[in-house]
Amino acid sequence: MKLRLDAYVDLASPLHCWEPRCKLVALTALIFAFSFVRELRLLPAMLAVSTVLYVLSRLPLSFLVARLRLPGFFFLVVALLLPFLSGTTPFFHLGPLVVKKEGCLHLLLITVKFLSILTAGIVLFGTTRLLTLVKAMAALGLPTILADMTVFSYRYLYEIGDNLRAMQTGTRLRGFRTRSFRGLGTLASLVGTLLVHSYEQADSVFKAATLRGYGRSVSSRGDFQAHPQDLAGLLVGLLTAAAFVVAEMFLRQWGGKP
Amino acid sequence: MHIPDGILPASVCLGGYATAGAATWYSLRKIRRKENPREGIPKASLLTAAFFVASWIHVPVPPTSVHLVLNGLLGVVLGYYAFPAILIGLFFQAVMFQHGGLTTLGVNATVMGVPALLAYYVFRLRNFLGKGSRVGTGLCAFLAGALGIGLAAAAAMTILITTMPAGIGTEAERTSIYALTLAHVPLMVIEGAFTALVALFLQRVKPMLLEG
């Protein structure tokens, strides 16, 4: 399983050097501010902010494009339905079908929002190791059980993925093909075996982790130190997020129709 | 069933986080009441990773194939750890594959996690039929698996249809929700059957895993 989330975390951009807690809070605020936007007039600003973030992160464009493939299918379905189903004002005719203006505008809104949120998310998780971000979340108050479960699960994800691949290869070599419902029992046994292996492995993991000090209360606050430039970045991020929320409320209240 | 970013209004996303927060609080409270809650964490974590990996197995549904959601099975095996496990699994899917989203994480976790907790309670009904009974285990696991995906599909479709498109009438909305939920009935049967087969396998090989 090639997850490659950490592929570019060792670059040296300003976003890579940003203190993880400040980055997490600022970019999360920005992501939620983007999701608050419903005014079409704010879409260019949203795209501009996310583009600036991505350029500053120095992540390659291919990294972003590769991550658009899977959600792209969902958006394809939405793009095929929404312009025909949503709204009442005819925009243009496509043979016997009527394309509605409201549907097209709605499609534009959700597509730009999706792209902007996705870009900010990729900047957040593409410029810091996931485990560092989980530690930052724990330092910001994430319950210990959730933080520990996230770290352990991530640690063994690759290993269990490899186990599954080995088992699938084994079943294929013995002539098993998943072509009909009759294979459901074999697939259930495969998943059951994977669960049993993982459960048995967990005992040794717990013992090894306990020997390394797991369970003793250690504060993760000391792991991070924010410098003035980190706090300045946090302030800029929060002010930008607040600006989107205020502009959205202002335009909804007094801006009239675009 | 993984609603991506940008689709839902911010109020629904925040509502999703509020319900996911409440469900997480409830699950963690139950977990902390256990004798040694830390001891269960590595087990739940490795099983979370295993479920995450297993959800990518494709099951044949001729002429195509589907990947299973397994939220009912998660409830059956993990009990109160199921909700945190689903939250973490969805978080990984959102950040690694952009399957789902960060703003919709709360909504997606509620949609899949609450049915998983209900599936756990349904599976516990086997205590009344006798824990060693294969019929009882198979039947309760089937109901748990089918209920898990059925409720999740109904919730996801209701949220999507009532919040997304403007200008669709109430009657059309209701019809769409019924139609899309009914379209999931074959998947409910497959997921239920798969959950029952895995539960029966575990009862034979490692019954401890069915203790929740």
Report the pLDDT value the prediction gives residue A166, as an integer from 0 to 100: 87
Spans of all domains in chain A: 14-136+222-254, 143-219
* Average model confidence (pLDDT) across chain B: 85
Q: Please give the residue that has the higher pLDDT: either A42 or A95.
A: A42
B95-128 tens-digit pLDDT? 888 888 899 999 999 999 999 999 999 999 988 8
- A106 versus B173: the higher-pLDDT residue is A106
Per-residue pLDDT band for B170 (boundaries 50, 70, 90) equals: low
Model confidence band, residue B165 (pLDDT cutoffs 50, 70, 90): low
Residue A166, CA distances (Å) to A153, A170, A178, B15, B47 in order: 19, 6, 16, 42, 18
Chain length of chain B: 212
Alpha carbon distance A169, A190 (integer Å): 11
Cβ-Cβ pairs closer than 8 A, A with B, add up to: 224
Residue A152 to residue B58, Cβ atoms within 8 A? no
- Asked whether the beta carbons of residue B45 and residue A152 sit closer than 8 angstroms, the reply is yes
State the best of B5, B70, B175 to mutate against chain A, taking most chain A CBs within 10 Å.
Answer: B5
How far apart are the C-alpha atoms of B144 and B192, rounded to whole Å?
Answer: 7
pLDDT digits (tens, 9 = 90+) for A143-156: 888 998 898 888 88
Q: Which of A148, B117, B198 is nearest to B209 (CA)?
A: B198
Give strand pairing partners of B64.
B61
Mutate to test the interface with B, among A108, A191, A200, A249 (most CBs of B within 10 A): A191
Q: Which residue has the higher pLDDT, B49 or A239?
A: A239
Q: Round the average pLDDT of chain A to a whole number and report it.
A: 85
Share of chain A above pLDDT 90, in %: 38
User: Checking DSSP bridges between strand B58-61 and strand A90-94, what pairing results, if any?
Assistant: unpaired
pTM, two decimal places: 0.88
Whether the Cβ atoms of residue A21 and residue A231 lie closer than 8 Å to each other: no
When pLDDT is averaged across residues A40-62 and rounded to a whole number, the result is: 94
Label residue A91 by pLDDT band (50, 70, 90). confident
Minimum CA–CA partner of B17 in chain A: A32
CA distance A113 to B7: 8
How far apart CA B114 and CA A27 sit, in angstroms, is 28
Q: What percent of chain A has pLDDT over 70?
A: 92
The position carrying tokens 């976003």 is A15
Q: Give residues with Cβ within 8 angstroms of A68, minimum separation 6.
A: A118, B98
Q: Position of tokens 């959102």?
A: B94
Report the candidate in B51, B58, B100 with the shortest Cα–Cα distance to residue B72: B51
Domains and CATH numbers, chain B: 10-210 (1.10.1760.20)
Q: Do B43 and A190 touch (CB under 8 A)?
A: no
Length of chain A: 258
pLDDT in the model for residue B62: 63
Q: What is the ipTM of this complex?
A: 0.86
Q: Of the ranges A14-28, A57-71, A185-199, B59-73, which is most confident?
A: A14-28
Mean of pLDDT values over A193-219:
78
The pLDDT value recorded for residue B164 is: 64
State the pLDDT at residue A164.
84
Determine phi and psi for B124, rounding to 5 degrees: -65, -15
* Highest-scoring range by mean pLDDT, A52-66, A185-199, B178-192: A52-66
Dump pLDDT digits (tens) for A99-151.
888 888 888 988 899 999 999 999 999 999 988 999 999 999 998 889 988 98
Please give, rounded to a whole number of angstroms, the shortest distance from the CA of A255 to a CA of chain B. Answer: 20
Hey, of B24, B25, B46, B108, which one would you mutate to test binding to chain A, going by the most A CBs within 10 A of its CB? B46
